Amino acid sequence: MTKKDIDDTVKFLDPYIINFNKGKERFSESVLWLKYEDFYKDTDVIFNAMEKYFSTTIPNKKRENIKAHCSIDKNRKRSKSFKNFGEYDYLKTEIHGDHIFKGEIGGWKAVVPDDLHDMVNDKFKNDLKLWGYEI
């Protein structure tokens, strides 16, 4: 990626981020907000949060079925069935082609050159703070 690629990506994402932030502000009390970093290694975090939020219980068998069907490995296989990011399963999963790599936190840093990491963080710093991230 180049500086221009990052600028173009920010311009592309900006209206979506603005809409997300408006929705987050408007529905902050009525939406269960979860961050990938909090659950990517332990999907039970999602189930536990849902149980608490909805005052319900999700049986272990149901949890295991969902984990098996929605794992990163399963979604990576789905992703590989599409030629590129522009192709995706818009009827079921919304999984895009070329979307899932390793699934690790900070994976974007492997795509963006080291000398541009600060630029990316700077462009998104206000939004990242709003979303609960420390810069």
pLDDT per position in the chain (135 positions), as tens?
899 999 999 999 999 999 999 988 888 888 898 998 999 889 999 999 999 999 999 999 999 999 998 888 888 888 888 888 888 887 788 888 877 777 788 888 888 999 999 999 999 999 999 888 887
Which of 21, 25, 4 shows the shortest CA–CA distance to 113? Answer: 4
CA separation for the pair 119, 7 (Å, rounded) = 10
Distances from the Cα of 69 to the Cα of 62, 75, 90, 120, angstroms: 11, 8, 17, 33
The confidence score (pLDDT) of residue 63 equals: 96
The confidence score (pLDDT) of residue 59 equals: 97
The confidence score (pLDDT) of residue 74 equals: 86
CA separation for the pair 122, 10 (Å, rounded) = 11
CA separation for the pair 87, 120 (Å, rounded) = 25
Cα 23 to chain centroid, rounded = 16
The confidence score (pLDDT) of residue 83 equals: 86
The confidence score (pLDDT) of residue 89 equals: 81
The confidence score (pLDDT) of residue 58 equals: 97
The confidence score (pLDDT) of residue 87 equals: 86
Q: SS3 of 88, please?
A: strand
- The two tokens of residue 39 are 């659950």
CA separation for the pair 29, 31 (Å, rounded) = 6
CA separation for the pair 135, 129 (Å, rounded) = 7
The confidence score (pLDDT) of residue 66 equals: 94
The confidence score (pLDDT) of residue 100 equals: 76
